[in-house]
């Protein structure tokens, strides 16, 4: 015998966030429209803007290896201090690696592979 269940009301599309999809240097970026609007050029004499101008800061801030390192740490449920201890580096160095301010290097990449089972090649 089936039980009566309460159905959730259906929301129209205006309740969803609108995401803009950009492809830059072979990577797909999904950016909420509210964030993209902050970069809108509203000047009267606006010209075409190259993707390099918009994405250079994003690319510098979020490097592929750093994002992968942070994702690995989050997947394992570790704090930066805990992961740094397992990798035999300081917490400050781990933070710099996650934020793309320090390269990971082959030795540390191999430690990551040994500890977490992620190929070291992703971090180089």
Residue 105 lies in a domain: yes
Backbone angles phi, psi at 19, to 5 degrees: -110, 135
Give the residues across from 23 on adjacent strands. 28
What is the count of structural domains for the chain? Answer: 2
- Let me know: does 88 contact 111? Beta carbons within 8 Å: yes
On whether both 69 and 117 belong to a single domain, the answer is: yes
Asked whether residue 45 is assigned to any structural domain, the reply reads no
In a domain, 11, yes or no: no
Residues 109 and 72 in one domain: yes
pLDDT at 60 over 70: no
Residue 4 lies in a domain: no
On average, the pLDDT of the chain sits at: 77
Dist CA 22 CA 39 (whole Å): 14
Residue 10 lies in a domain: no
| Last residue in a domain, options 8, 26, 55 | 55
* pTM to 2 decimal places: 0.51
- Which pLDDT value is given to residue 23? 72
Cα–Cα distance for residue pair 100/95, rounded to 1 Å: 9
* Domain containing residue 70: 64-123
Residue 76 lies in a domain: yes
Say if residue 11's pLDDT is above 60.
Answer: no
Give the rounded percent of residues in the chain with a pLDDT score beyond 70: 65
Q: List the CATH number of the domain containing 118.
A: 1.10.260.40
pLDDT for residue 90: 94
pLDDT at residue 31 in the model: 74
């Amino acid at each position: 015998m089936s039980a009566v269940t309460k159905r959730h009301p259906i929301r129209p599309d205006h309740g969803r966030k609108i995401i803009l999809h950009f492809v830059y240097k072979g990577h797909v970026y999904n950016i909420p429209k509210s964030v993209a609007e902050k970069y809108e050029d509203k000047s009267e004499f606006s010209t075409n803007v190259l993707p390099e101008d918009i994405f250079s800061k994003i690319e510098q801030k979020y490097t592929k290896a750093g994002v992968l390192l942070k994702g690995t740490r989050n997947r394992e449920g570790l704090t930066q201090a805990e992961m740094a201890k397992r990798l035999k580096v300081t917490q400050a160095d781990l933070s710099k690696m996650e934020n793309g301010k320090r390269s990971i290097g082959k030795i540390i990449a191999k430690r990551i592979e040994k500890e977490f089972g992620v190929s070291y090649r992703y971090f180089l």
